[in-house]
Amino acid sequence: MTRLSIIGLGPGNPDQLTPEAQNALAEATDLVGYGPYVSRVQAPAHVVRHQSDNRVELDRARHALEMAMQGRRVAVVSGGDAGVFGMASAVFEAIENGPPEWRGLDIHVVPGISAVLAAAARIGAPLGGDFCVMSLSDNLKPWEVVCRRLRLAAQAGFVIALYNPRSKARPWQLGEALAVLRDVLPLDIPVAFARAIGRTDERVLLATLETADPEQVDMSTLVLVGCPLTRRIMRDDGSAWLYTFRKVPQ
């Protein structure tokens, strides 16, 4: 049976690409995805690369499915985990609304290390308690929904990980999101900006909700906002670990 694999490439460090993902990539005749992710994959010269813009996920998914129906072994790639704000949902949306024969394809979703997990591991253990993951992009949902979810997550006591925090087209949204959180949370709540974790240009900045500066953030940054149970442990070199206390007071 023809296979279409949807593969998470991890945060960018080759050591964080899983053996399962490597095996799936080795079988591919075609690579499909956002340009920088496709370029990241090391593949033989005969493998055809189909690169596209980051805003055409459904078109990309349909193209991959059409090639799979032609007998190609297609790998659709995403950074991090393909099921976390990645291409897996776009492929299944295309299948639900596409030709019935697409449902006969062998679809294989290969998990990857998501940015939130890589960032948390670098920082300490900030996800030791309950947490949620959100995207600040309003391309697929109204900004009012983003703000309402942020407020409710903060009120519920979740640690909050923010994907797609700030881009050239959306430079204002992270600042407004932090303002929403400042209305709910104590201003000394720890905040981490974790950029390009595992890559050569990695950078981690620790701040508080009061001092967090959106100008320090770009689209390669994972923003992690602690909760009242998140602690900071200072180290001898001036850096710090963050961890979230597991026991919630009665």
The pLDDT of residue 167: 82
* Cα separation, 10 vs 148, whole angstroms: 30
Mean pLDDT of 38-59: 92
CATH of domain 116-244: 3.30.950.10
| Superfamily of domain 3-113 in the CATH hierarchy | Tetrapyrrole methylase, N-terminal domain (3.40.1010.10)
* Domain spans of the chain, in order of start: 3-113, 116-244
116-244 matches 3-113 in CATH topology: no
pLDDT of residue 214: 95
> What does the pLDDT read at residue 91?
98
pLDDT at 89 over 90: yes
Cα 55 from Cα 60, distance rounded (Å): 9
Element (DSSP H or E) covering residue 107: strand 106-110
Is it the case that residue 250 has pLDDT exceeding 80?
no
Q: What tens digit of pLDDT does each residue of 176-229 get? A: 999 999 999 999 999 999 999 999 899 999 999 999 999 999 989 999 999 999
Environment class of residue 182 by beta-carbon count within 10 Å: exposed (0-12), middle (13-18) or buried (19+)?
A: middle
Is the pLDDT reported for residue 117 higher than 90? yes
Range scoring the smallest mean pLDDT among 1-5, 63-67, 189-193 = 1-5
Using CA atoms, how far apart are residues 110 and 114, in angstroms rounded to an integer?
12
Residues 242 and 159: beta-carbon distance below 8 Å: no
Q: What digits encode the pLDDT tens for the residues 26-47?
A: 999 999 999 999 999 999 999 9
User: pLDDT-based confidence at 170, cuts 50/70/90?
Assistant: confident
Q: How far is CA 61 from CA 85, 94, 105, 219, in A?
A: 14, 6, 13, 23
Cα dihedral 193→212→167→79 (10° resolution) = 20
129 pLDDT exceeds 80? yes
